[in-house]
Amino acid sequence: MLDQIRGDVEAAMRAREKERVGALRLLLSELQKAAKEGSDDELAVLRRERKRRAEAARAYREAGRLDLAGGEEAEERLINAYLPAELTEAELKVIIEQAVRDSGAESAKDMGRVMKQAMAAVDGRADGKLVSDLVRASLGG
């Protein structure tokens, strides 16, 4: 992943894409920092950075700063290109149904057990809030 991003930084520099270079360098820096700290889960770093961009874009939109929100959203799309595809809602429902069966959950009180199994199966390929909403609906809560 690091080599791919380094190559993309060089390509963006040659193409004189200033914003893309900045975003890729920041991403590269975060990945290198995580590697130095002993974390070798590059996808987790990318997901964390994508989530930060989404939250920043939302905050900028609420503050009426559409120009800054657009920049954050562009960086979020750039990060998405390096992540595996998100699960569809139908795929999530299958995973959640399996987690409900495996955990023996019967009511909303068992949501924690189901979430633990579902999030392990999802492996970061879906937003936790969406998974939580689907689990809650599945358990009738």
Which pLDDT tens digits describe the chain residue by residue (141 residues)?
888 999 999 999 999 999 899 999 999 999 999 989 987 788 889 989 999 999 999 999 999 999 999 999 999 999 999 988 888 889 999 999 999 888 888 888 888 898 999 998 888 788 888 899 999 998 886
Query: What does the pLDDT read at residue 24?
Result: 94
Query: What does the pLDDT read at residue 141?
Result: 62
| 0.75 exceeded by pTM | no
Query: Helix (H, G, I), strand (E, B), or coil: what is residue 49?
Result: helix
Assigned CATH topology for domain 89-138: Arc Repressor Mutant, subunit A (1.10.10)
Quote the CA–CA distance of 115 and 111 in Å, as a whole number.
6
Which sequence spans correspond to the domains of the chain? Answer: 2-80, 89-138
Query: What does the pLDDT read at residue 76?
Result: 93
CATH 1.10.3720.10, domain 2-80, yes or no: no
Query: What does the pLDDT read at residue 39?
Result: 79
Q: Is 83 exposed, middle or buried (0-12, 13-18, 19+ CB in 10 A)?
A: middle
Query: What does the pLDDT read at residue 27?
Result: 93
